[in-house]
Structure 1
Amino acid sequence: MKLMGSRAAVAAVMLAGALASAQAAEKKQLYFVPNGAVDFWKLAEAGMKKAQAELPNYAIQIKYPEQSSAAIQDRLLDDLVANGAAGIMVSSVDPKTQTEALDKVAGQTLLFTTDSDAPRSKRAAYIGSSNKDAGRQAAEILKKALPNGGKCIAFAGLPGADNARERLEGIRESIQGTKIEILDVRADDMDQARAKRNVEDILTARSDVNCMIGVYAYNTPQIYLALQEAGKLGQITVVGFDNDQATLGGIKDGSIAGTVVQQPFEWGYQGMKDMARYLEGDKSFIPADGLIIIPTQIIDKSNVDGFIAQVKTWLSAK
């Protein structure tokens, strides 16, 4: 009798395990694919965690490409589709060269874009910032910090990606008629060591430069570090994007004029929720132009402390 009871217990455990596996397999898979593995995406992960708690019938994961390469990202997307992805949200590395690959994905699963849109693709919607508006806000910081004009160099991971290109377009449009000019844009392919070297090269070669713009989240901290090592903090006006801790610290100590922050937490949270709504047949939330815009915000010394507190709240979200 004891042996039979033991066998029954083992069978029950095996049955429970099989049921759990079956239930997990039944869950629809939603994925977030960033354009590279940088700390900026930690807030998106926090937003996804909140969405997961509200979407028990879905399994939500973030998948980073091994490198910030369009080809590598395309292969990752193909793998996720082959794995049965119900929906994918992607920040495209290079929308212009990836349109065909993204269309292939969109033909097999639900595709949203975020951060860097691919407007010519067949994606169902874009959820994220208006990068052109963010550029205009960065220009407001520049104009306030440089009332007599300035010679600026911009630093960007992927200048050809829509997010960088549109930010710079927004800045250029808004500084027309002023004495502020962008002399050059230096690319680093999202290699942070290279990003710092780019700044160091400018410090060596261009004594006339009195303004630096960090277009990607990590660019501004690398500008800060290079200026610090060169003993030039406070001598060159720095304006950035996003909310890296070093950027916020530089704003607090006065060595960075300001930054324009996005809301990746909301991209992760709302993006997963919206994909689930779409899969369940509700498309009413998608505007006619397919753009779901989440506003950006200027952070400077006047409001940086409050924003730091908000970031802590996002990161602690359950």
Structure 2
Amino acid sequence: MNRIVMAAVTASLAMGTGLAAQAEEGHKLSFVVNAASDFWKLAEAGIKKANAELPDYDMELRYPAQGTAAAQNALMDDLVAAGTDALMISSVDPKTSTDAFNRIAAQIPLFTTDSDAPQSNRIAYLGSSNTEAGEQAGKEMVQALPDGGKCMGFVGYLGADNARERIEGFRKAVEGSKVELVDVRGDDVDFARARSNVDDVLAANPEITCMVGFYSYNSPKIYEALQAAGKLGSITVVGFDEDPVTLGAVKEGSFVSTVVQQPFEWGYQGMKLMAAYLGGDKSQIPADGLIIIPTKVVNQANVDEFQADLKAKIDSASAG
């Protein structure tokens, strides 16, 4: 596999800082997310940092009116009509959006992040390996439950590639152990439903002894439900992403750990990548179109260090 691991190419991408002088006045770069979530505030901070380094570009993060493929596709059309020169998107449903993505890709450079659309004509995917992230979560659960347990997973879009790959990675990691992922409940990024899914499992499935929050907001909803039911600490939880509630749960020991991505880098490096591409530098696009920014496990031992680094990045972007 020829994919690039972003930790190894940060220096190369930094060359994009010199592209401001080459940029045509008014080049517009857009970053379209899958739904309104605090998770994306970090990507927005990364975009602000990139924009401070490339002030001749107009960079923006846009939320669709709804967390649906139709709303995303309509937003992409609107952005192209308004003059966007390159676009990066986290696809809600890649399988049903291929034609829409190809329509956009025929007009401007199209990149993906977070949830890939490999069957489309996108130029490259920049983000996590969701399969590897799922495997990390599964290994954490196996280590936490040497005697085994029955787990329930919770996620936003069951059909999205990022969800499917995380679940597959988790199942691969627990295969052969005494840990079993019994099922995964989807909520279509409806926060009330995300919470009620956990409540329903607690009421109807007493055999469940572990839970996995596969999307950024799922872990906080798990925390809320367990706290309300008086079961914090009695259900083993591994989460995803760096929501403050999730990090607080890890710090206090209510959650084993959380697998964090780097949305700040998606925004920052994604904008730099698109700017470089528009400037004629295509050397950063690997043969297989995959630019992987590694995920990491945050646990009680490193949560303080992680939070300090996160704050420094956000403060730096705000200062810029």
Same fold per superposition (TM over 0.5): yes
Partner of 1:257: 256
Partner of 1:307: 306
Partner of 2:152: 153
Q: C-alpha separation between the residues in 2 aligned to 1:174 and 1:63? A: 35
Counterpart secondary structure, 2:254: coil
Residue identity opposite 2:118 in structure 1: P
- For each residue in 1:86-143, what CA deviation from the matched residue of structure 2 results, as whole angstroms up to 9, or x when unmatched? 0110000000000110010000011110000000000011000000010111011101
Residue identity opposite 1:227 in structure 2: L
Q: C-alpha separation between the residues in 1 aligned to 2:37 and 2:70? A: 19
Q: Write the mapping of 1:104-119 to structure 2, written as runs, cut at 5 A.
A: 104-119=103-118
Q: C-alpha separation between the residues in 1 aligned to 2:174 and 2:185? A: 19
Residue identity opposite 1:154 in structure 2: G
Q: C-alpha separation between the residues in 2 aligned to 1:255 and 1:128? A: 28
Residue identity opposite 2:147 in structure 1: N
Counterpart secondary structure, 1:213: strand
Q: C-alpha separation between the residues in 2 aligned to 1:112 and 1:201? A: 38
- For each residue in 1:43-93, what CA deviation from the matched residue of structure 2 results, as whole angstroms up to 9, or x when unmatched? 100100000011122100111011110001110000001111101100000
The structure with higher relative contact order (CA 8 Å, sep 6+) is: 2
Partner of 1:95: 94
Partner of 1:60: 59
Residue identity opposite 1:159 in structure 2: L
Q: C-alpha separation between the residues in 2 aligned to 1:63 and 1:208? A: 42
Partner of 2:15: none
Partner of 2:85: 86
How far off its partner does 1:26 sit?
A: 3.6
TM-score (norm 2): 0.91
- For each residue in 1:186-242, what CA deviation from the matched residue of structure 2 results, as whole angstroms up to 9, or x when unmatched? 010001111000000000000000011000000000000000000000010011110
How far off its partner does 1:284 sit?
A: 0.5
Q: Write the mapping of 1:1-318 to structure 2, written as runs, cut at 5 A.
A: 26-317=25-316, 318=320
Counterpart secondary structure, 1:314: helix
Partner of 2:6: none
Q: C-alpha separation between the residues in 1 aligned to 2:305 and 2:56? A: 36
Q: C-alpha separation between the residues in 2 aligned to 1:81 and 1:26? A: 17
TM-score (norm 1): 0.91
List runs of 5+ in structure 1 lacking aligned partners.
1-24
Counterpart secondary structure, 1:316: helix
Q: Please identify the structure whose Cα radius of gyration is greater.
A: 1
How far off its partner does 1:159 sit?
A: 1.3
List runs of 5+ in structure 2 lacking aligned partners.
1-23
Q: What stretches of structure 1 move > 2 A for 4+ residues in a row? A: none
Q: C-alpha separation between the residues in 1 aligned to 2:208 and 2:281? A: 52
- For each residue in 1:287-316, what CA deviation from the matched residue of structure 2 results, as whole angstroms up to 9, or x when unmatched? 110000000000011100100101101111
CA RMSD of aligned residues (A): 0.9
Counterpart secondary structure, 1:88: strand
Q: C-alpha separation between the residues in 2 aligned to 1:72 and 1:310? A: 34
Residue identity opposite 1:192 in structure 2: F
Residue identity opposite 1:97 in structure 2: T
In the alignment of these two chains, the number of paired residues is 294
Residue identity opposite 1:202 in structure 2: V
Q: C-alpha separation between the residues in 2 aligned to 1:79 and 1:224? A: 38
Counterpart secondary structure, 2:301: coil
Counterpart secondary structure, 1:85: coil
Q: C-alpha separation between the residues in 2 aligned to 1:252 and 1:65? A: 33
Residue identity opposite 2:266 in structure 1: W
Counterpart secondary structure, 2:39: helix
Q: C-alpha separation between the residues in 1 aligned to 2:291 and 2:106? A: 21
Q: C-alpha separation between the residues in 1 aligned to 2:227 and 2:90? A: 32
Q: C-alpha separation between the residues in 1 aligned to 2:314 and 2:66? A: 25
